[in-house]
Amino acid sequence: MSKYFVHVAVGCAIFLASAFAAFYEGSALADNSWEWSYSTPITSLLGVDVRQASDISSFDFFYYAAKYEPAFPLIMMASILYIVLICGFILLRLKKRKALLYFGIVAVLSFGAVGVLLEASSSGSRWFVPLFIITAIVSSVYAIIAGKGLVRQAKV
């Protein structure tokens, strides 16, 4: 169990470092006023009209970084998905039924993200498609493994 803790801790450290770097890269949005109408969807969802840089939501900086400089946001997302999968492996060892549901939900959400990102217009967001495809496939495989474990238990 302690090896899983180390994996989660490393994943969290990588996430925090890449989040800091992505936020720094995305902060260039504050200087590009011509991008405010195209790259501030979260601020728009909050009902705020962007008139100055201080009106921009912090999450829009991550969006801007993912759109134009996707390396660190990609590492961020990969580390989050890694932590999610490690938590699923812990469940798989403990409770097969919950692991089946967990991995099934992760697979469906990952396939959904692929569908949404295939329609994306920016080149940066297309880098996320292979990451979500891999996550969906891995989650599907582990859901099948958990399901087979349940079938074996039912036969005994």
- Report field, pTM of the whole predicted structure over 0.75: yes
Q: Is 54 exposed, middle or buried, given 0-12, 13-18 or 19+ CB atoms closer than 10 A?
A: exposed
Q: d(Cα 77, Cα 123) in Å, to the nearest integer?
A: 17
pLDDT in tens, 54-96: 888 888 899 889 888 899 999 999 999 999 999 888 877 778 7
pLDDT in tens, 7-50: 999 999 999 999 999 999 999 988 888 888 888 888 888 888 88
Kindly give, in sequence order, each residue whose CB lies less than 8 Å from that of residue 138, ignoring residues fewer than 6 positions away: 85
Q: What is the DSSP string of 90-104?
A: HHHHH-HHHHHHHHH
Determine the 3-state secondary structure of 122 from DSSP.
Answer: coil
Residue 154 in this model has a pLDDT that exceeds 70: no
Assign 118 a pLDDT band (cuts: 50, 70, 90): confident
Q: d(Cα 8, Cα 18) in Å, to the nearest integer?
A: 15
Residue 79's nearest CA partner among 2, 136, 9 is: 9
Question: Which of 125 and 127 is assigned the larger pLDDT?
Answer: 127
Residue 3's nearest CA partner among 93, 79, 131 is: 93
